[in-house]
Amino acid sequence: RATSNHKVKETVALELSYVNSNLQLLKEELEELNSSVDVYQNDSESISVPMIPLGLKETKELDLLVPLKDLISEHYGEEGVLFEKEIKEFMELRQAMRTPSRNEAGLELLMEYYNQLYFLDSRFFPPTKSLGVFFHWYDSLTGVPSHQRALAFEKGSVLFNIGALHTQIGARQDRASLPGLNQAIDAFQKAAGAFNYLKENFSNAPSLDMSTASLNMLVRLMVAQVQECVFEKMTLLRSQHNFLARLQLAQEAARVEDVYLLVHQTMTQAHVKDYVPFSWTTMVHVKSEHFKALSHYFAAIALCDCPAATDAELPEQEKAFIQFHITMPEGPSLRVLLQDPEERRKLGKAHLKKAIMKHEEAMRIHGLCKILRKMDILQEVLSFAHKRSLSKYSEIDHEEDFFETGDAPDIHPKTHQKPEIKSPNFSQVKVTDLFHRLGPLSVFSAKNKWYPARRVHLMRGENGFGFTLRGDSPVLIAGVIPGGLRCPGLKEGDYIISVNGKDCKWSKHAEVVQLLKSTGEEGVEITVITLQGSEGPRAADKKAAAMSSGSGMLKSNKENSRKSLMNSKSASTLLVWSKKSKRSKKSTYGVPFTAVGDNEAMY
């Protein structure tokens, strides 16, 4: 559209085509890097099927020094330069958060930054004005950059990385040991919880990896990997090789096959398949076939390697076996099947035949993906399982078998440990509000506006100063007796922010009272502010109690209406961001003066 010159158009089209081809090559290289063999494998020499970890979202550096100093000057009326230390400390925390270590310390760092964003949001992101900075993040799956002004995009991206880091920690565990398996299960369950929390509390994300469809797929993938670990845990714990234990293993394997099949169906949906790495989709498909083969293998082992049921064992085995297959196998009655070794061998042979077919299908699908072909461990696992089933089939196959091996029915999936989606525990990492010197958030927040501070000189009369105080941090003038003051300029609903030059924003009720009482004949000078829109203490109470954690990104009403219980001390510790939490009237964070009536006194 910029030119009518055909030669220029052709040249530009050619250059764009060249750039596009380079981008395609880069995308393939990134996919191969994201699916690196080293990332999948742990340090153990034992053989276990590799897990799928996620790469972290990358972000650009962010300079907040000037925007925050300007807002502190404009909104809070403070010298922005006096807060350079706090701003730089926050920026250093963000810089460290970009490259977290792949362990618990890295998770704590991400959680600390995520919690710190609550304070940043409340302090510097007013609902009607933009801070003027863009948050840049790259898609974890495609590498495509996205940017938004809203802080909720930053929050969501950090939360995504918390989930992604859990996946990497889970994938690195030595699953040949029980402690390693338990740690892997815990990590994948926490990853599922982070992605699920992100899905429920954020919407309209600008990047594909944080879309509802993508997060739904990731939650299901993590649940499937937990289920796989549960199966591996059972193989370690089930040292006895009796009939019932092997039936349980077969059903556990069928359950793993079931959840991976669901993941594969999710990954191949029209709006998901275009950006999910092909190696992931193939891996999930391979695992679905592999565990289906294992379910039939363990069914065959239970039937062929375990002795026929005695009359005493028969009732328990009948009860287990009647719920074992999705459809009952054709042939003799259940009692005859369980007590006749030949009938057991026939059904076991049918299960082995199906196991071998599924092993071969898994190996065929595996061979279609160049990246998976490089994974020696996966190749070894599939080959070992296939050879084991072939060997068992040869062992039970008799030359005089003239019957045609039937088609074994599929096994009913069942698990003895259902995966748990563990939501993030934000209270696990305590943080201090870096900008607490600005004052308590109940009053001194981006949402609230107040009139310029006023200095009022008071003289003590015979009956004191003639006003009542309520609350803490900051103390509020709850009532003024007409004619009781020796100096005008003070009114109901004012907050005392200093007494004789001493900052009182965080002072307790008793501390302010003591400062007022210690004045002499010369009187006392106090500095007060009045919230805009407040008309007396009741309105001021409502204004002070209303907290905003919102910003405009992801337009998330759920996330942006977050409330938080806070510590009233200057350390202001973040406790929790609960989806439906409502701050108690007795909360020491943002105490409205009406909530502490028993603390009211006349001065």
H/E element holding 163?
Answer: helix 151-171
Q: Where do runs of H (alpha helix) occur along 306-375? A: 314-322, 334-339, 341-367, 370-373
Whether the per-residue pLDDT at 600 is higher than 70: the answer is no
Q: In this predicted structure, what is the pLDDT of residue 340?
A: 87
Mean pLDDT check: name the lowest of 19-23, 108-112, 134-138, 369-373: 19-23
Instruction: Report pLDDT digits (tens) over 276-294.
Output: 999 999 999 999 999 999 9
Contact 549, 590 (CB under 8 A): no
Residue from 83, 84, 88, 110 nearest 99 by CA: 110
Whether the per-residue pLDDT at 20 is higher than 90: the answer is no
Instruction: Report residue 212 as tokens.
Output: 């509802």
C-alpha–C-alpha distance, residues 512 and 533, integer Å = 25
CA distances from 368 to 40, 402, 497 (A): 19, 37, 70
Res. 459 pLDDT band, cuts 50 70 90: confident
Percent of the chain with pLDDT over 90: 51
Res. 486 pLDDT band, cuts 50 70 90: low
Phi and psi of 279, rounded to 5°? -65, -35
Res. 17 pLDDT band, cuts 50 70 90: low
Q: In this predicted structure, what is the pLDDT of residue 13?
A: 65
| 519-542: average pLDDT | 71
- The CA-to-CA distance between both ends of the chain, in Å, stands at 76
Mean pLDDT check: name the lowest of 2-6, 293-297, 348-352: 2-6
Q: In this predicted structure, what is the pLDDT of residue 397?
A: 81
Q: In this predicted structure, what is the pLDDT of residue 161?
A: 97
Res. 4 pLDDT band, cuts 50 70 90: confident
Q: In this predicted structure, what is the pLDDT of residue 584?
A: 35
Contact 107, 162 (CB under 8 A): yes
Query: How confident is the prediction for the chain on average, in pLDDT?
Result: 81
Mean pLDDT check: name the lowest of 31-45, 292-306, 358-372, 526-540: 31-45
Cβ burial, residue 117 (10 Å; 0-12/13-18/19+): buried
Res. 599 pLDDT band, cuts 50 70 90: very low
Mean pLDDT check: name the lowest of 15-19, 296-300, 330-334: 15-19
pTM of the model: 0.80
CA distances from 417 to 182, 195, 264 (A): 12, 21, 22
Whether the per-residue pLDDT at 241 is higher than 80: the answer is no
